[in-house]
Chains A and B, each alone.
Chain A
Amino acid sequence: MEQLSGAQMVIRALRDEGVKHIYGYPGGALLHIYDALFQQEEVQHVLVRHEQAATHMADAYARATGKAGVALVTSGPGATNAITGIATAYMDSIPMVVITGQVMSFLIGEDAFQETDMIGVSRPVVKHSFSVQNPEDIPSIIKKAFHIAESGRPGPVVVDIPKDMTNPTDRFNYEYPKSIKLRSYNPVSRGHSGQIKKAIDMVLDARRPVIYAGGGVIMGDASTELTELAKLLNAPVTNTLMGLGGYPGTDRQFIGMLGMHGSYEANMAMHHADLILAVGARFDDRVTNGVDKFCPTAKIIHVDIDPASISKTIQADVPIVGPAKHVLQEMVGLVKESKKQPVKEAIDSWWQQIEEWRARHGGRYRTDDSDKMKPQQVIEMLSKVTKGDAYVCSDVGQHQMFAAQYYKFNKPNRWINSGGLGTMGFGLPAAMGVKMNFPDEEVVCVTGEGSIQMNIQELSTISQYNIPVKVICLNNQSLGMVRQWQDMNYESRHSQSYMESLPDFVKLAEAYGHVGMKVEKYEDLEAAMTEAFSLKDRMVFMDISVDPFEHVYPMQVPRGSMRDMWLSKTERT
């Protein structure tokens, strides 16, 4: 058997797990591991400029592929810098393995240089964590970390490794386990057939059904099954912010995103539904609005891999614990076999009602109240120029909501955003993580002048590795989303929501060796964007001036029901 040091085992285990790229930043506690990394070529390391970016790159890789991404950060400040990224992945159930250096084991607890209790600090935002206490355990711990991160409801796993566990002179037998069993962890592999039958019986009786599908469909690789079921039932489908692309965005049966900034027709349909089939969604507060007023006439079927998500905020009438893919497959089979078919007249008149709603609002916005370009126009143009086929990695703010509303995602895993934590600074590293793994695809970062500055240093990483992503910066010269709330609830007292002294983004991009473009007029947008995307091997930063006064609509009225919405600055439902 091969004899390897702890440091070598870390890298070898990653290789044996099939990892191609790891994203990281070195430091004292990791020097042995970085030395082992240097002496091999199979696992490629990407040097970021801030550890947060490493975690977002790993996270975005996972969102695009379904496989755990890997970040490597040193102890102390390296580890704490990674926390935001770990929390981001945790909130969206994204598989990730974060390896953190730690001070030597005999120094732990002594406030040693760069010591942080990473297991403690990360505890509330990880699915699980391991602290290595014997170098021999490294292969099995790494195997367990991947198994836990990727199975069941996925999530980030931290592996904390004290420096002396990686000592190059101590060598051990190395064997990477083929599989692993944990007596205390057995995620469900299939849903309860009786419950699934009961659910389908109810679905086939429904007169006003809505399928409400979330990120579980994306991470659970179930969008084909979801689409098939929806088609068989002729039922309207709404996606959560995390679920976009889980059902084709340009299909007639797609009624848009739901929730706080959901479409008028999706929120209306939810409110009036008599049956909601929730799949891989968690009835989060940005979806339900006031829980006491939530969907008063609906029976609720809730399919989720995590039993704790079921009946957490909204009581389910039929809970089904299981992987979305399997449960939906079984549902499709049952509908096909069933003598009972959907109630045609009822479903037809339900569609008539939904089409009326769609015609009434259906994503319209004004272009005549400002001479500035509208952010929505930019996203629609982006959708057109990239043929709705790009990986769109978003930051957080109004631009994120516009991207979610106006970019039509026809495929899963292409809309990559921080939904649960809402992490500004996510977009650029996320785009980098995707592009490195899909070099032939268009990868876009939709951002604002606020968010982009939270990880702008990564323009340097982009130069180093030549990662030609396209940045679409909707520059409204303000923290637009904050400003919108201040307009609506604080009589437009714009406390600290301006972005003053903005840099010249064109020059900034150029300083890093990239292409910068400034677009001020809508007439110039299509040509500029087309040019930007024609520069296949260059990173292009498009600084696009948009109307600073625009708001995102619809917007639900706080604590109201699903259907209580502002539709524009002056209209309310």
Chain B
Amino acid sequence: MRHIISVLMENEPGALSRVVGLFSQRNFNIESLTVAPTEDSTLSRLTVTTIGSDRVIEQITKQLNKLIDVVKVVDLTEGDHIERELMMIKLKATGQMRAEIKRTADIFRGQIIDVTPNTYTVQLTGASDKLDAFIQTLGTTNIMEVVRTGVSGLSRGEKVLSL
């Protein structure tokens, strides 16, 4: 099953490489990874999406917790949560396709953020499957370039991941 694991860690040099190293060292899978400092500049927040059996996910959270730089770990998929990913997608946009892309982007609540005579660049935010659906709808022939941030997420309601 797919899990979204959120990690609060010391914003120290080398901390990220310990997390990434752990995943490769222990043969855990990484689907996506995002990381940035939080409002407290001494802490960064990392979100990793991974796929694995319950036993593997348990090992992942335990092993992450063992890293000295890691302050807290939570598996967001264990409870209600919100996840978002941002995608920018550059498309060939000529002739009829210009209108078609515009329409599809509207339906997906995307924005066209760059325009040239032959291209559109669309920005889209949402859960990963929505971004996948957008790609599928437009078909690969028109796609010139795709860049995705990877998933970020947090728990719904009052629950927070903090010190």
Contact = CB atoms under 8 A, between A and B. Distances in A.
Given A124-B25, A184-B9, A184-B71, A308 B17 contact: no
Interface stretch (B56-64, B74-82, B124-132, B138-146): B56-64
B59 A312 contact: yes
Contacts of B25: 124
B85 interface: no
Interface in B4-50: 9-10, 13-14, 17-18, 21, 25
A119 B11 CA distance: 17
Contact of A184 (B17, B55, B69): B69
A129 B17 CA distance: 12
Given A131-B13, A184-B9, A123 B66 contact: no
B63 A184 contact: no
B147 interface: no
Contacts of A120: 17
Interface residues of B, number: 20
Contacts of A311: 55, 58
A277 B9 CA distance: 35
B151 interface: no
Nearest to A310: B62
A181 interface: no
Nearest to A120: B17
B17 A123 contact: yes
B163 interface: yes
B62 A307 contact: yes
B65 interface: yes
Contacts of B17: 120, 123
Given A306-B66, A307-B62, A307-B65, A184 B14 contact: no
B119 to A, nearest CB: 38
A187 to B, nearest CB: 10
B107 interface: no
Among A123, A184, A185, A311, the one with the most B-chain Cβ atoms within 10 Å of its Cβ is A184
B69 to A, nearest CB: 6
Contact of A183 (B55, B59, B71): B71
Interface of A is mostly: mixed
B160 interface: no
B127 to A, nearest CB: 30
Given A119-B14, A183-B163, A308 B71 contact: no
Among B21, B58, B68, the one with the most A-chain Cβ atoms within 10 Å of its Cβ is B68
Contacts of A185: 68
Nearest to A321: B62
Given A123-B18, A124-B21, A311-B55, A184 B70 contact: yes
A527 interface: no
A538 interface: no
Contacts of A306: 66
A148 interface: yes
A123 B21 contact: yes
A148 B68 contact: yes
A148 B14 CA distance: 17
Contact of B68 (A119, A182, A312, A315): A182
Nearest to A306: B66
Contacts of B63: 308
A128 interface: yes
Nearest to B20: A123
Nearest to A127: B68
B10 A184 contact: yes
Nearest to B58: A311
Nearest to A307: B62
Contacts of A148: 68
Given A182-B68, A308-B62, 4 more contacts: A119-B14, A124-B25, A184-B68, A307-B62
23 contacts: A123-B17, A123-B18, A123-B21, A124-B21, A127-B68, A128-B68, A129-B14, A131-B13, A131-B14, A148-B68, A182-B68, A183-B71, A184-B68, A184-B69, A184-B70, A184-B71, A306-B66, A307-B65, A308-B59, A308-B62, A308-B63, A308-B65, A311-B55
Interface of A: 119-120, 123-124, 127-129, 131, 148, 182-185, 306-308, 311-312, 315
Nearest 10 interchain pairs by C-beta:
A308-B62, A128-B68, A184-B71, A124-B25, A185-B68, A307-B62, A123-B21, A308-B63, A308-B66, A184-B10
